[in-house]
Structure formats: structure tokens, C-alpha cells
Structure 1
Amino acid sequence: MARPRKFDEQEAVEAARRQFSETGYHGTSVDDLSRATGLSKGSLYGAFGDKEALFQHVFEEYCTSADAGAAARLEGPEDEALDRLRQWLRVPEGFDGRLGCLLAKTTAELAWQNDTIANRSLATFDTLFDSCRQLVEQAQRAGHIDPAADPEALGGLVVTTHRGLEALAKAGVGAQTLNRIADAAIDSIAQPIP
């Protein structure tokens, strides 16, 4: 009979996610994961399999969370859709974004050599593009964005701005600067109120 686990699996997954976010897949050793999670190598292997299996688990959970966040942003009154786009781009004061986004980091590091990662990354980006397109359409119906504008292109612009802001945050650009850029991006697609 297998012995019951004496650790919180979700806490271990979150610790592994922080480690992978900080050092990337290739830059993370099993020793690093053991230190980060507080688990022995044997416990890590017993619970999650090898490093790749643990990473796949972490990455899938991260992408699933991103998908859920995108769906949640669609909820709410149409006349607040532009504000929801703005809030997605903005960062709170004191935010330290140096770890960056695991989706962006993983896509850059692994998608070119791993079809599973490439496909999951693309599916998550497609979800982000689609949710931003839908938010633009909501804002168009509410009269906050020109109804003649291309919602797919504007949604893509918002996603691309988000990715760029994450890269700037990782480089250490402060929240105040990032938020001025975020506001300028949203203001640039907003229809002036007469």
C-alpha cells in the first residue's frame, strides 16, 4: 500500500511555477526544484514524475488560469468593457514584474522545439486574442470605440501591448511608467465622448 503524501501538492506546484518563472525550464535543475518546493528528489519524482512532467503540469495549470481570467474579463456590462481592457493592462503600484509571464517565457524558450508547448501556447494566445476582440466589440456596442474599427485587430493590439508591458516590467520599468503606457494604448482606441 502506498504511503499517503505528507505535503500540499498545490503549494509544491506553485513553488515550482515560481522557480520555472524565475530561471526558465532549461535553467532549472531538479535540485533547484527540490529547494524551491522543500521536497526531496524522490518525493518530486514520486508525485510528479520527471522534471518535464512537472513542468508540463505547471504550464498547463498556468495556461488554464490565463484562459479562465480571459473568460472572466468578458463578464460585466458592455459599457464597462473598455475599463476591463484598461485594468488588464495596468499594474498595481509596487508591482514587481521581474519574474514575468510563464506563458511568454515558455513560448520563447521552448515552443520552437516542443510541439506540445507550442500548441498549448498558441491555444492560450488564441483565447486572449478572442477575449480582447469580444471586449472591443462590447465597447463598440457601448459607443466607446468606433464601430467601424476592426475589433480583431484592436484586440490583437491590446494583447500585443500586454506582452510588451510584461517585457518592460521584467526589465524593471516602474509601475507608473507602465500604467501611463497602458492608459495611452487604451485611450488610442477609445472613441472620444462628444
Structure 2
Amino acid sequence: MARPRQFDEEEVVQAARDQFWSVGYNGTSIDDLSAVTGLGRGSLYGAFGDKHVLFLRALDSYNSAALEAWGSALGGPGPALPKLERHVRDVAEGITRDVERRGCMMAKIAAELSSVDESVAERIAATVRGLHSALRDCIARAQAEGSLDAGTDADNLASLLLAVLRGLEALGKAGAAPEVVNGAADQALALLPRVSTDGRAAGSMSSAGV
């Protein structure tokens, strides 16, 4: 009869996630994973099969948390436009607070493995679609509420904002000053196709056909 495991799998996955996040997949050895999780090689192999399986569990954990955070920030009751504005600013603030420049695990892993690992590429593409959908749905609600121009394509606007947010991540990793990151976020928000009090579109993006 197999003995019950004496460890919490989710805690192990979280510890492995932090290790992969810090130094990447190729930079992490089984010995590294053993050190950060407190489990011997045999226990790791017995619970997860191999390094790649544990890595995918860790990546799934990170991606799920990101999707949940974006969904919570951009969804729920209340006016949509303030949620969108706060989310963009919160992402920028988070980037400026990342003094270790660890950045986004998904972006790091995409650069390292997406071109050579189909399972990783599929997971990251699905997560990007989820982030885009959260933005698009928030924009569509703001349009329905009359705060953003309903004539603007919500999908295209979501794509643009997602590109801005991912670009802010790259700026932060490159060591850009906080005022540069926050300034870019503020400028992106200033260009949103808002509807003025007289009901006309007031932003620059609508006139550009976004």
C-alpha cells in the first residue's frame, strides 16, 4: 500500500514557479527544484514525473493567477471605464515596483521556449487571448455605458491596450525610470476615445479608426 504524501503539492508548485520565474526553465536544474521545494529527487519524480511536467504545472499556476487578477480588476459591478483606467495604472505601478526586474514569468518563458516547445506556446497563446478578452469585455461595457465611443472597434482597442501593457513590461525590464513607465500608461489612457458630455467622441483613437 502506497504511503500518503507528506507534502502539499500546491506549495511545491508555487516554490517551483518562483524558481522557474527567477532563472527560467533551462537555468533550473532538478537539484535547484529539490532545494527550493525541500523534496528529494525521488519524491519530485514520483509526484510530478519529470521537470517538464512540474514546469507546466508552475506555468499554468502563474497564468491562471494572471487571468483571475485581470478578470477581477476589469469585471464585476460598477462603471467600466474607471476599472479600465485603474487597471492600466496598477499594471504600470506594479512594473515600477519590480526592483528585482523579475518581470512577467509568461513573457520570460515565451522568449525562452515558445519557439521550441509547442505545449508552452499553446498555453501562452491561450493566456494572451484571455487577457485580451478581459480588456475587450471591459471596453465593450464602457461603450454600452456611454463613456467610450461605441463606433470604435473594441477588439482593436483591446489589442492596442494589451500591446501597450506588454510594452510597459519590456520598458520596466530594460530599467526605464518609473516616470517613463507611468507616463506612457497615462498617455495611452489619454488617447482613449471618450465620449464628452455633449455625446460626441472626444478621444484621438476614434478619429484614427481604431
Output the TM-score relative to the length of structure 1: 0.87
Equivalent AA in structure 2 for residue 86 of structure 1: V
Structure index of larger Rg:
2
Distance (Å, rounded) in 1 between the aligned partners of 2:99 and 2:136: 28
Return 146-155 or 2-11, whichever deviates more.
Answer: 2-11
Please say if residues 172 and 181 of structure 2, whose CA atoms lie closer than 8 Å, have aligned partners that are also in contact.
Answer: yes
Distance 1:181 1:86, change over 3 A: same
Larger RCO: 1 or 2 (CA < 8 Å, sep 6+)? 1
Please say if residues 89 and 186 of structure 2, whose CA atoms lie closer than 8 Å, have aligned partners that are also in contact.
Answer: no
Distance (Å, rounded) in 2 between the aligned partners of 1:150 and 1:37: 47
Distance 1:107 1:147, change over 3 A: same
| Identical-pair percentage | 40
Distance 1:183 1:192, change over 3 A: farther
Please say if residues 152 and 193 of structure 2, whose CA atoms lie closer than 8 Å, have aligned partners that are also in contact.
Answer: no
Structure 2 residue 114 is the aligned partner of structure 1 residue 104: no
Please say if residues 89 and 182 of structure 2, whose CA atoms lie closer than 8 Å, have aligned partners that are also in contact.
Answer: no
Return 55-64 or 163-172, whichever deviates more.
Answer: 163-172
User: What does residue 6 of structure 2 align with?
Assistant: 6
Question: Any residues of structure 2 matched to 1:1-194 within 5 Å, and which?
Answer: 1-72=1-72, 73-79=74-80, 80-92=82-94, 94-96=97-99, 98-191=101-194, 193-194=196-197
Distance (Å, rounded) in 2 between the aligned partners of 1:173 and 1:67: 26
Shift of 1:17: 0.8
Q: What is the root-mean-square deviation of aligned Cα atoms in Å?
A: 2.2
Distance 1:181 1:119, change over 3 A: same
> What 5-or-longer segments of structure 2 have no aligned partner?
198-210
Please say if residues 115 and 121 of structure 2, whose CA atoms lie closer than 8 Å, have aligned partners that are also in contact.
Answer: yes
Shift of 1:132: 0.7
Equivalent AA in structure 2 for residue 74 of structure 1: G
Shift of 1:190: 4.5
SS at 1:91 equivalent: helix
Output the TM-score relative to the length of structure 2: 0.81
> What 5-or-longer segments of structure 1 have no aligned partner?
none
Flag as ranges the 4+ runs of structure 1 deviating above 4 A: none
Equivalent AA in structure 2 for residue 124 of structure 1: T
Shift of 1:88: 4.7
Shift of 1:81: 3.6
Distance 1:57 1:157, change over 3 A: same
Distance 1:190 1:35, change over 3 A: farther
